[in-house]
Amino acid sequence: MTVPLLTVLLFLAQPAPAAPPPAAAAKPPEPPSARLEAVLAELKGKPQATFTSRLGPAASTRAATDGQVLIWSVNLPGETVCGANAAGALACQRQGGGDCVIAIAFKTDGAMSIWRASGHPAACDKVADQLKPAG
């Protein structure tokens, strides 16, 4: 009877574990393409039609408190590589390539305000080329 009682008393007498140190503020992720960031900075304030005419219709649209967010997904296909598989038959598959997802927020007046991009750097460079103003 005394052993379980002593065990409970020792457990209760232990100091509480120290609280973990506060987490540092999370750094925003690195943009996948510096070229894309530069082109989007040039286009800040432009109307929504500028983007839909160059990227096509958005894959998704979300309502926001001060406007809307349009999301595009651009695919950069990889190279087709062919070779013999384990059975000795010719097999082809895609290698490389990737996707770039870009979300652009537009104010209620239709002007672009902020953006975020993520994905494969080469695919995001392709988006930068599509968005680059002519001239």
Which pLDDT value is given to residue 123?
87
pLDDT at 58: 92
pLDDT at 2: 62
With a cut of 70, list the residues of the chain below it in pLDDT.
1-19, 21-26, 28-29, 134-135
pLDDT at 44 (0 to 100): 93
CB-based contacts of 59, cutoff 8 Å, min separation 6: 71, 72, 73
pLDDT at 6 (0 to 100)? 57
pLDDT score recorded for residue 57: 92
Global pTM exceeds 0.85: no
As given in the structure block, the two tokens for residue 51 are 């983007």
